[in-house]
Amino acid sequence: MFFGPVGFDVDDMGYAMSRLETESDAGKDFSGVGSSSSSSSGSGSDRSSKHLAGLDKEINQITKLKSSPHQRYSRVVPGRHELPVSTVRMLAGRESNFSGRGGRFSAADCCHVLSRYLPVKGPWLVDQMNSRAYVSQFSTDGSLFIAGFQGSHIRIYNVEKGWKVQKDILAKSLRWTVTDTSLSPDQRNLVYASMSPIVHIVDVGSGTTESHANVTEIHDGLDFSTDEDGGYSFGIFSVKFSTDGRELVAGSSDDSIYVYDLEANRVSLRTVAHTSDVNTVCFADESGNLILSGGDDHLCKVWDRRCFIGRDKPAGVLVGHLEGVTFIDSRGDGRYFISNGKDQTIKLWDIRKMSSTPPAKHEVHINYEWDYRWMDYPPEARDLKHPFDQSVSTYKGHSVLRTLIRCYFSPLHSTGQKYIYTGSNDSSVYIYDVVSGDKVAVLKHHSSPVRDCNWHPHYPTLISSSWDGDIVKWEFSGSGEAPMMSKKRVRRRHLYY
């Protein structure tokens, strides 16, 4: 169930945009629906003002350029503009060619309309398993969805065919769980990792629905171990395809980053990247030259493959988290990225603010001991701030406990990356506004931590994947009816482990 401000029950009436807008709505801002406090209290606006004051002006402007309409749509009278602009007014303006584009919306115009239709209605059941869901992702075009479970299962769903299971994969030599999966850009191959140096690759395009490792199909193993490992068996927490599909980058429990050349079928690069587990890695942009990493040493690091300064030395370091980094998502522009941290925050970073080395004493020494796997975050630590914090902005409200919970930018094509969203240990999905920092929505349904969640690249559809075994779908349904793909509402139930 989705909770909005006090006195506003979205589960009963759908989202605020579920009705046809009229011209009288043009001056109203629905972007705050679902935030933690109502605007009438004043605290929410004060918090937004403080957040805006500290927000980097460039990311503020970039976000607005990608998600704001042409100024003639928002003009009420000469010299006066009001946002957001209602959909009816946008359509009327398009028909009247307000923007001078020959009756067409620009990409920013489209994002302004679509970004207001948040996927908060539901949820509806996609699948229900008797093991924890650990990882999930949409394909680049949104036609496929992949979910990986602790019980050795990975399922690929065909979104266009009513979420039918296109491929049911039984993983090989799984240690503990499926820690990560990655689909190749051409959607032909899927790799999956576990707490092992061997990453397996599956042919997604084969006609076999039941893909049991080395029984019905061959799952080739890609060995990430090298002679330098000295026979030590490590696990892989994170693995990602490069945008050209020729390489894999991986982060491991031996504090290292690996790059695997798929054409040469060997590890092409290994660097000791952190002083503790490397929980997350990704490419910063399409070039594949910049790699981002985050580890349990609290640091985010940037690696430039074109100019390695020295062995195991990054191009730059970004300090700000008080605890380990669980996940990193790049904005795709080679500049900005976000990270989730065990200090219960998401941080927004600008690569250009990185330093060559961390401060001599980058860690804040606090008089408490805790383990995020089974303890609550100490209350006395919640308001602490790193004295050398280099982040652009910080987002709080969700809970990062028990597992490596993931966060993402909302899609570029439908929202202009206006939002940040994340799973949470409190069984919810949180959506934040990048610019204001407000909690725009909190989606509640699950009975266990939501480790991963994924926003469709083109439609207002969000999938949450939880340790309760449920894969559920949240949508914007303008009519208030269940989506075409499924009429089945989810039944709440509990799993015991």
pLDDT in tens, 201-251: 999 988 788 988 878 888 999 999 977 665 568 999 999 999 999 999 999
What integer is the mean pLDDT of 375-380?
92
| Helix, strand, coil percentages in the chain from 3-state DSSP, rounded to 5 | 15, 35, 50
| pLDDT reported for residue 58 | 86
Q: Quick one: DSSP state of residue 9?
A: -
| pLDDT reported for residue 45 | 54
Return the amino acid letter for 336: Y
| pLDDT reported for residue 161 | 95
Rounded to the nearest 5°, which phi and psi values hold at 313?
-110, 120
Q: Is 244 left (phi over 0), alpha (psi -120 to 50) or beta?
A: alpha
What integer is the mean pLDDT of 264-287?
95
| pLDDT reported for residue 226 | 79
* Rounded Cα–Cα distance for residues 241 and 239 (Å): 7
Predicted confidence band of residue 305 (pLDDT cuts 50, 70, 90): confident
- With a cut of 60, say whether residue 7 has pLDDT above it: no
258 burial class (0-12, 13-18, 19+ CB within 10 angstroms)? buried
* Rounded Cα–Cα distance for residues 462 and 450 (Å): 13
What integer is the mean pLDDT of 267-275?
94
Decide which of 41 and 282 is more confident: 282
Contact 314, 301 (CB under 8 A): yes
Residue 130's alpha-carbon distances to 149, 352, 468, 494, 496, in angstroms, are 9, 45, 8, 10, 9
* Rounded Cα–Cα distance for residues 40 and 273 (Å): 48
The token pair that represents 109 in the structure block = 């115009």
The token pair that represents 345 in the structure block = 């925050």
| pLDDT reported for residue 30 | 35
Interstrand relation of 164-170 and 210-212 (parallel, antiparallel or unpaired): parallel
* Rounded Cα–Cα distance for residues 17 and 21 (Å): 7
- With a cut of 60, say whether residue 436 has pLDDT above it: yes
* pLDDT tens digits for range 98-114: 667 777 788 887 787 77
* pLDDT tens digits for range 448-494: 999 999 999 999 999 999 999 999 999 996 644 444 444 444 544 44
Predicted confidence band of residue 22 (pLDDT cuts 50, 70, 90): very low
* Rounded Cα–Cα distance for residues 437 and 54 (Å): 11
Average pLDDT, the chain: 83
* Rounded Cα–Cα distance for residues 412 and 157 (Å): 23
* pLDDT tens digits for range 327-375: 999 999 999 999 999 999 999 999 999 998 877 655 566 667 889 999 9
* Rounded Cα–Cα distance for residues 198 and 220 (Å): 9
* pLDDT tens digits for range 29-78: 333 333 333 333 345 555 565 565 556 788 888 888 787 776 766 765 46
Rounded to the nearest 5°, which phi and psi values hold at 146?
-120, 135
- Smallest Cα–Cα separation from 418: which of 52, 62, 39? 62
Going by C-beta distance under 8 Å and a sequence separation of 6 or more, which residues neighbour residue 176? 150, 194, 195, 235
- Smallest Cα–Cα separation from 321: which of 394, 372, 374? 394
| pLDDT reported for residue 375 | 95
Q: Which residue has the tokens 């801002």?
A: 29
| pLDDT reported for residue 112 | 79
| pLDDT reported for residue 231 | 57
| pLDDT reported for residue 67 | 79
- With a cut of 70, say whether residue 395 has pLDDT above it: yes
Decide which of 311 and 490 is more confident: 311
- With a cut of 70, say whether residue 304 has pLDDT above it: yes
Residue 452's alpha-carbon distances to 205, 299, 419, 463, 472, in angstroms, are 25, 22, 16, 9, 11
- Smallest Cα–Cα separation from 321: which of 303, 290, 348, 282? 348
High-pLDDT (> 70) share of the chain, %: 78
* Rounded Cα–Cα distance for residues 400 and 406 (Å): 9
Predicted confidence band of residue 298 (pLDDT cuts 50, 70, 90): very high
Question: pTM here?
Answer: 0.84
Residue 72's alpha-carbon distances to 69, 82, 83, 207, in angstroms, are 8, 10, 12, 52
Predicted confidence band of residue 172 (pLDDT cuts 50, 70, 90): confident
